[in-house]
Chain A
Amino acid sequence: MSYESIASNVLEQVKKAGATGDLLIDTQQSLSLKCNQGKLDEHKVSSSQIFGLRVIDNQKVGIAYSEADDADSIDSMVQQALQNARYSKVDEHTAIVDDVATLRSDEAWLCPEDTTSIDEKIEFALQLEDALLQKEYVKNCPYNGVTDQLSQQYVYSTSGLSAFQKSRGAVAYAYALAENGEKNAMCGTGQLYRDFADLDKTAIAEEAYAETVAMLDGEPIASGHYDVIFDCETQNDLFGVFTAIFSGKWAQDGLNPWREKVGKLVAESTLTLFDNPLNKNGFGYSIFDAEGVATASTPLLENGVLKTLIHNSATANFYQQSSTGHATRGAKSNLGVGIHQMEIAAGETSSSDLYAGDLVVITDLSGLHAGANPISGDFSFGASGYLYRNGEKQQAIRGITVAGNFYTMLDAIETIGDTQYWNWQKGSLMPSIRFSQLTISGS
């Protein structure tokens, strides 16, 4: 039975029960290859599907899902969602979006034809590992691999929504473990493209090696307060941990410290930040959200002023405004909100001025999931990077921590660079930002 037929059957049952609802169907096909000491170590192929149903019955929401598509499992999912709804609170703000539409996002550039054979992919994976194993000091390459994944998502609703999006992503990554006497270090990097043929194994290996060898000589620096620049990877990670600060859902739940700050200055006036889901160069590209609402570039911070929180239809109703097109939903979860593709506007500071004087550049953060508290904004992470003196890179640093409060840190921006960079997973586009006087703990 086709997905469209299954959806029609499910939504008909929902309507017969006097409810409304939407059905999300996620499918994935993927290939994963890993190598160990010149041999293919793991070869994994997978194909999966999941159906996720949300029903709204008498203003109460229920969620159920199934990975099986036989009639009994699908019927059971419908009945379970309806039963779950009976226990939920009355939510007068949640409704199925009633704009009837057929939406598709499956252009060829989003999902290019796979022209690379499995033999070529295996050879690529072996050569990527070998490129690192051949290098001086490299003991092994414990984490490496390539993946190629095709993802499809369908959304159907009782209001007539029929949305479909499809995309492909090819990843290659490698981490080198190097030893020199008693010293050791492990660093790595990766690349993500829509077409496997665009991956550059030499560039990955060279970047991973350069970082690893540099860190062999890394030492802690003296504890103190330093100006800090996070590189494009760690800055993306840091902002990613605290994106709930823009969440309308988090505000509605009474958790967001910025819930009453819309229209107010919350950051240094040089900071302009927006969500730009229509930038085709990123992997957060999306023309509609999980409710089928059209997306658009959305200013969040403009010259330091909080312009809006991000909303789905329910949080927008709560705040008596329109959805900003930021609905998210997984097959197993309720409606939420999320940023598609964060972008920070470039500043005016040249690279030489940005790195002038003394500062620390952070290139790796550890403990991101445990070391940050979005409720308070406090963070403390393990870190490594480089110490700059008088604008020159002086030494590699490791075995330090960097700590601060993210929300007050946004008000302590020294300057912003004039060039934007994607992180390697192409989820955000940001210039380098120099933050003043963060706490570094070291020797």
Chain B
Amino acid sequence: MLDSQVAQRVIDHALSVGADFAELFVEKHHTAAVSTLSDEVEPIQSGIDFGIGLRMVFDGKVLYGYTNQSNAEELMRIASELAAKDRRSPVVTASAFDFTTGLTQHPSEIILTKDFAIDSKIAFLMAANKSAKAASEKISQTRGYCNQREQHVEIFNSEGLFAQDTRHYIRAGMSAVAADGSEQSSGSWNDGGLLGWEIQDSIDPAFTGEEASRQALTNLGAKACPSGRMPVVIGNGFGGVIFHEACGHLLETTAVAKKSSVFHDQMGEMIANPVVNAVDEGLSKNAWGSINIDDEGMPTQHTQLIKDGRLNSFLVDRLGSEETGFARTGSGRRQSYKFAPASRMRNTYIEAGTDNLDDMIASIDKGIYAASMGGGSVSPGTGEFNFAVTEGYYVEDGKIQYPVKSATLISTGPAVLKEISMIGEDLKLACGMCGSVSGSVPTTVGQPALKVDDILVGGNA
């Protein structure tokens, strides 16, 4: 995408004005979105993003700029403008690029630049809609989507790194609305991965529609959720958002380096119940949060965050490594060329334990089974987090009693990690989008079902 001689000229120029380090992130990003409203196809949207981000570092200070143009003069102009206040004599010289390229670990077949596959995506969504509507006459509306992306990146830096990668993302799903008189409720289901439209072979459109409708119908008759402190069993899959919010963000060196994470000085300490083991990795084949290399050009890896309850590793990007002294973990990620990279999660999950879901529910006197979770957020400085229950049930005397309407669960990371007392065998991963300082990136959350002994449930009863 970018001529290597142009890249070399720009990096040489950046170092000539005194930068310690210079990096170019080149991106060409194809997108296509097919969506339906019931049995009608909504306007299809597609396009190409293209741009180059230039990062220069002067004594730890990051200067960042970007442009849609790929000529050396424009990129050198940006470098000069950025460095206007920091210009000094050169302190390092650039190394020649090493053009050795890594292997693609996440093969894809039906990719966007070869085949939009619009007909088969429409057929998939029509089949899902048919199943959703067949679930009940109370299903009043469905909205389906197949969003596919193909991101090409090249990374050049002043230490001689040249890396390139192509990431194929696909995500398909459906939401359904159930209505009864003036009452409305909703449900949804989706799946995705780091692969092409061949994902259609592993997603059943009938299940997609049925699951969205099942959740909408369950919520339609749900009672108000009790509120107060109580035990909660959190279902597997997207339930892993609890770990993402309660702990994952607090282990990013973006927060750790500024001492704005409650865990910044806890390395090697017991921060969770000993039953908790958690990882963040990019290696899972074709998983939504996987990568071949991070957005600083480092190959991805398996990072053990917590081992038997003890803090084992942070998520470390390049600058985070320089600021904290911990080794990089291939965690430098960004939404696009418009963002400087920062330490971010990939596929983050609590590893399987030995308990089972029935035992967890049976152990509850009065509490909640949160079968399906929505998103959440966290304040890293205090560790206070929240996340939403989208399908929940009231549990009494060890038995599920009735569905309850949406509720929010809140706690702090350090507190909740110590309240996890049982972990199931049924590890499952789920797709999510994570927003932070370097934009919105695909991340997988996951966990087996687990029991939190005490957490605040924000219901409306």
B259→A381 contact, CB < 8 A: no
Determine if A77 is an interface residue (Cβ-Cβ < 8 Å).
yes
B186→A375 contact, CB < 8 A: yes
Chain A residue at minimal CB-CB distance from B459: A403
Q: Which residues of A contact B374 (CB under 8 A)?
A: 370-371
| A376 touches which of B64, B183, B229 (Cβ 8 Å) | B183
Chain A 63-101 interface residues, beta-carbon cutoff 8 Å to B: 63-69, 73, 76-77, 80, 84-85, 87-89
| A403 touches which of B182, B380, B387, B408 (Cβ 8 Å) | B408
| B43 touches which of A66, A88, A118, A366 (Cβ 8 Å) | A88
State which size class the interface on B falls in. 35 or more
Chain B 4-61 interface residues, beta-carbon cutoff 8 Å to A: 31, 34, 37, 40-51, 60-61
Q: Which residues of B contact A65 (CB under 8 A)?
A: 45-48
A381→B65 contact, CB < 8 A: no
CA–CA, A107 to B339, complex, Å? 31
Most buried by B among A370, A379, A405, A442: A370
Q: Which residues of A contact B459 (CB under 8 A)?
A: 380, 403, 439, 441
A370→B387 contact, CB < 8 A: yes
CA–CA, A84 to B259, complex, Å? 49
Q: Which residues of B contact A399 (CB under 8 A)?
A: 384, 410, 456
Q: Which residues of B contact A119 (CB under 8 A)?
A: 85
B460→A371 contact, CB < 8 A: no
Contact A439 B410, CB 8 Å, known A367-B388, A370-B376: no
Q: Which residues of B contact A398 (CB under 8 A)?
A: 384
State which size class the interface on A falls in. 35 or more
CA–CA, A263 to B406, complex, Å? 30
A373→B186 contact, CB < 8 A: yes
0 or 1 for each of B441-461: is its CB under 8 Å from A? (1 = yes): 000000000000000111111
CA–CA, A92 to B31, complex, Å? 27
Determine if B134 is an interface residue (Cβ-Cβ < 8 Å).
no
Interface of B is mostly: strand
B381→A401 contact, CB < 8 A: no
| A366 touches which of B51, B68, B386 (Cβ 8 Å) | B386
From residue A6, how far is it (CB to closest CB) to chain B in Å?
13
| B61 touches which of A42, A46, A370 (Cβ 8 Å) | A42
B227→A441 contact, CB < 8 A: yes
| A140 touches which of B66, B228, B260 (Cβ 8 Å) | B260
B410→A382 contact, CB < 8 A: yes
CA–CA, A373 to B390, complex, Å? 9
Chain A residue at minimal CB-CB distance from B53: A46
Chain B 79-93 interface residues, beta-carbon cutoff 8 Å to A: 81-82, 84-85
Determine if B316 is an interface residue (Cβ-Cβ < 8 Å).
no
A371→B46 contact, CB < 8 A: no
Chain A 372-415 interface residues, beta-carbon cutoff 8 Å to B: 373, 375-376, 378-382, 398-405
Q: Which residues of A contact B214 (CB under 8 A)?
A: none
Determine if A254 is an interface residue (Cβ-Cβ < 8 Å).
yes
Q: Which residues of B contact A254 (CB under 8 A)?
A: 140-141, 177
CA–CA, A65 to B229, complex, Å? 49
0 or 1 for each of A96-134: is its CB under 8 Å from B? (1 = yes): 000000000000000000000011001000000000000
Sample of 10 more A-B contacts, CB < 8 Å, known A43-B85, A380-B408:
A45-B82, A46-B338, A63-B43, A64-B45, A89-B40, A175-B381, A380-B407, A401-B386, A401-B457, A442-B456
- The 10 A-B residue pairs with the shortest CB-CB distance, nearest first, are A401-B458, A65-B47, A142-B260, A441-B227, A370-B375, A382-B386, A367-B386, A61-B43, A84-B44, A370-B388
Residues of A participating in the B interface, judged by any CB pair closer than 8 Å: 36, 39-49, 52, 54, 60-69, 73, 76-77, 80, 84-85, 87-89, 118-119, 122, 139-140, 142, 175, 177, 184-186, 220, 223, 253-255, 257, 332-334, 366-367, 369-371, 373, 375-376, 378-382, 398-405, 439, 441-443
25 pairs, A vs B, C-beta closer than 8 Å: A41-B62, A44-B63, A48-B338, A49-B68, A52-B47, A60-B43, A63-B43, A67-B49, A80-B46, A85-B44, A142-B381, A184-B262, A223-B228, A257-B182, A332-B31, A369-B375, A370-B377, A376-B186, A376-B406, A380-B388, A399-B410, A401-B407, A405-B460, A441-B458, A443-B229
